[in-house]
Amino acid sequence: MEIKKAAMAGTLESSDAQVTVEPGNGSIELSIESSVIHQFGKQIRATILETLNRLEVGSAKVTVVDKGALDCTLKARVECAVYRSNDMTENLPWGGAIRS
Amino acid sequence: MSHPNKKRLRRSMMFLNCQKPGLIKDPYIYKPDSIMLDLEDAVAENQKDAARYSLFHALQEIDYHGVERVVRINGLDTPHWKEDIRVCVAGGADVIRIAKTETAKDVHTVEEHVLAAEREFGRPEGSTLLMAALESCRGVLNALEVCESSDRLIGIALSGGDYTKDLQTVITGTGVELMGARQQMIIAARAAGVQCWDTVFTNLDAMDVFEEEVRMIKMMGFDGKSLVNPRQIDIVHKIFTPSQKEIIFAEKVVKEIEEKKALGIGVFTVDGKMIDIAFYDGAKRTINLAKASGVYEGDL
């Protein structure tokens, strides 16, 4: 999926993550800020990249501010930001591109 | 055949806001009978989409340890409910709570979309149960037709805030404004053989008033209550679980009625109280409730 415009999802509350996606230059440029970066940085990164991959996003600038979100929340916030950048809120592929 | 979970124990049904990841990640630790993941009023209008992704992953990935997962969807007068139904069914929600239900037709409309979603996402047809929240005078007056509208319908719940607005009064704390609705709804639910739940109690500083209200709705016949805070769960469970004294008496009644029937005796006394066949179903219900609540150790 193409990132058509900048879009954001999530908050800076505890257990949440704020994800911003912007149109990229042909690759994924990912920056992560997290209070638990030393313990879980690798896993957070992997979850975000896997989610983008499932959504077939190959070009994007992605900024994540993590506040101790579970994997399922990270996925939910990335998906929400990507679909928002395409103005899509209906007939979403639950269980398809959006899956565990 | 009716769904095996249609009549399961539902004393406590606790609302949780799907917009807040911190709230939906571990509510099973408070041991409510059901959680109600909310896509409706608790979720801001511009976050309806975000709440659905959180809901989908919560349903798919979080182990709620046997706590029933109900999802409250947006009303049929909004642009959100169709996608709400798709995500509920795709995620595998146990029950969908229909907001602002007024007629059997409302339930049928939701049912059609649920069936379509079960087919789309490969879920067994009929696996998604429904419950209806009555939130208006018309809804309350139509309680019986709503209760009889669908095999999937587990019961009806009063939504007191919107209902009192429609009635042109307010929640007073005395319960007087809800009397008619409560009475009408429980009678309709029992006539149709479905369950019935009372509205939320939102003043967390008045736990004694809350407890009184729970005792009252238990006496009225309700199956349980919608809750807004984990602190309310234990009080509801305590009141809705039969005491050992009640269980022992019910056991005696059931055993005596069975024994006396064989001897051709219709009326007799148990612990000084006159008992006949009319007491049998009530005593059986006490035993069944004790079993479902995990406090029965007898052999009936």
Chain B stretch 21-40, residues whose beta carbon is closer than 8 A to a beta carbon of chain A: 21-22, 25
The answer to whether residue B119 neighbours chain A at the CB level (below 8 Å) is no
Interface test with B, best of A12, A13, A73 (most B CBs within 10 A): A73
* Candidate from A15, A92, A95 with C-beta closest to B21: A15
Question: Between A and B, how many CB-CB pairs are < 8 A?
Answer: 68
Question: Among all residues of chain A, which has the CA nearest to that of B60?
Answer: A100
Task: Please report the ipTM that was assigned to this predicted complex.
Answer: 0.97
Helices of type H across chain B: 21-24, 48-61, 81-91, 104-121, 137-141, 143-147, 160-166, 179-192, 207-220, 233-240, 244-263, 280-292
Cα–Cα nearest to B91, from A51, A80, A98: A98
Average of per-residue pLDDT across B171-175:
90
**For B259-280, what is the mean pLDDT?**
92
- Cα A14 to its chain centre, rounded Å, is 17
Residues 6+ apart with CB under 8 A from A79: A51, A55, A98, B53
- A63's tokens: 């900024």
- A94, B22: Cβ pair inside 8 Å? no
Mean pLDDT for A26-32 is: 97
- Closest Cα of chain B to A52: distance in Å? 14
* Per-residue pLDDT at B27: 87
**CA-only gyration radius of chain A, Å:** 12
How much is the pTM? 0.94
Residue type, B149: S
Q: B58 vs A16: CB contact, 8 Å cut-off?
A: no
- Phi and psi for B21 in degrees, rounded to 5? -55, -35
Mean pLDDT along residues B73-83: 97
Interface of A with B in 38-77 (CB under 8 A): 69-73, 75-77
The closest CB to that of B25, out of A15, A92, A95, belongs to A15
Confidence of residue B26 (pLDDT cuts 50, 70, 90): confident
Contact B148, B141 (CB under 8 A): no
Which residues does chain B have within 8 Å of residue A72's beta carbon, measured at their own beta carbons? Answer: 54, 57-58, 60-62
**What was the pLDDT predicted at B297?**
87
Q: What is the pLDDT of residue B1?
A: 58
Distances in whole angstroms, Cα of residue B270 to Cα of each of A100, B252, B253: 58, 7, 7
> How far is C-alpha B2 from the geometric centre of its chain's CA atoms?
17
Model pLDDT for residues B84-98, shown as the tens digit of each residue = 999 999 999 999 999
Query: Given CB atoms, is A82 within the 8 Å cutoff of chain B?
Result: no
Please indicate if any CB of chain B lies within 8 Å of the CB of A98. Answer: yes
pLDDT score of B106: 98
Distance CA B267, CA B261 (A): 9
User: Could you tell me how many residues make up chain B?
Assistant: 300
Whether the CB-CB separation of A98 and A92 falls below 8 Å is answered with yes
Q: In Å, how far is B34's CA from the nearest CA of chain A? A: 21
Instruction: Give the DSSP per-residue string, A15-75.
Output: T-EEEEEEE-SSSEEEEEEETTHHHHHHHHHHHHHHHHHHTT--SEEEEEEESS--HHHHH
CB contact under 8 A, B21 and A70: yes
Choose the closest CB to B60 out of A15, A90, A100.
A100
Mind listing the pLDDT tens digit for each residue in B36-49?
999 999 999 999 99
Mean pLDDT, range B100-111, rounded to an integer: 98
Distances from the Cα of B282 to the Cαs of B83, B86, B156, B279, in angstroms? 43, 40, 22, 6
CA distance B13 to B33: 6
B57 touches A: beta carbon within 8 Å: yes
Q: How many angstroms separate the first and last alpha carbons of chain A? A: 18
**B236: its two tokens:** 């509801």
Asked if pLDDT for residue A49 goes beyond 70, the answer is: yes
Looking at the partner chain, which of A76, A90, A91 has a beta carbon nearest the beta carbon of B53? A76
| Contacts for B83 with CB less than 8 Å, ≥ 6 apart | A89, A90, A91, A92, B52
pLDDT of residue A26: 95
Average pLDDT for chain B: 95
**DSSP code of residue B59:** H
- Contact predicate A48/A74, CB 8 Å: yes
